């Protein structure tokens, strides 16, 4: 089951996200797992601390994993992340040739792994990445909603991703509303797709 396989790594990513929120960063955490399932690298958002618009958790974790493994290609690795990656991060994930992205919550405004765009499984790409969504999604959404609620109280105009209506999760919508929260779903790379987690 997906929760059994990735639950601990998502727990670590959520802890990294909580710590980022304490530092005033948008609470997103990411963990890169090697082909054997061991942790290779981890990171949290650090845009504010680094004054760097590219310092997303996913980018920082991929950089650290590449350095740890001594290779820019992270073949067989998985990225476990608390929020659906944006277009920039999805592009980096694809270039790193990850096997899989495991995400908690969908990002209905800027997501690029199936909600707004689907960079990772674009049939025109020379590498496609499996996307697994919904692992500890409610925890991630609650963390983000709490962070942005506090920001709004302090005068910030940023808003959290909205919770989607109840129903089965969709990993790669082709049109229509953002994916809904619900049971975990697995979408395979290429032509093979396996439902259920």
Residues designated as active site: 58
φ, ψ of residue 46 to 5 degrees: the values are: -145, 30
For residue 194, give the 3-state DSSP assignment.
Answer: coil
Best CA proximity match to 159, nearest among 96, 110, 100, 122: 110
Token digits for 69?
A: 């493994």
Phi first, then psi: what are they for 84, rounded to 5°?
-50, 125
Three-state SS letters, 15-53: HHHHHHHHCCCCCCEEEEECCCCCEEEEEECCHHHHCCC
């Amino acid at each position: 089951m997906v929760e059994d396989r990735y639950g601990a790594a998502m727990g670590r990513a959520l802890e990294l996200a909580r710590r980022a929120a304490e530092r005033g960063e948008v609470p997103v955490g990411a963990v890169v797992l090697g082909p054997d399932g061991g942790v290779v690298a981890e990171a949290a958002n650090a845009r504010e601390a680094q004054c760097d618009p590219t310092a997303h958790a996913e980018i920082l974790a991929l950089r650290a994993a590449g350095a740890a493994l001594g290779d820019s290609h992270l073949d067989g690795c998985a990225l476990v992340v608390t929020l659906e990656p944006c277009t920039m991060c999805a592009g980096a994930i694809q270039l790193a040739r990850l096997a899989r992205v495991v995400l908690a919550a969908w990002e209905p405004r800027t997501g690029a792994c199936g909600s707004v765009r689907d960079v990772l499984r674009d049939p025109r790409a020379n590498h496609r990445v499996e996307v697994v969504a919904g692992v500890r999604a409610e925890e991630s959404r609650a963390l983000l909603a709490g962070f942005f609620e506090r920001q709004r109280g302090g005068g910030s105009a940023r808003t959290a991703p909205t919770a989607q209506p109840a129903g089965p999760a969709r990993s790669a919508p082709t049109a229509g509303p953002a994916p809904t929260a619900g049971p975990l779903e697995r979408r395979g790379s290429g032509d093979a797709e396996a439902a259920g987690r």
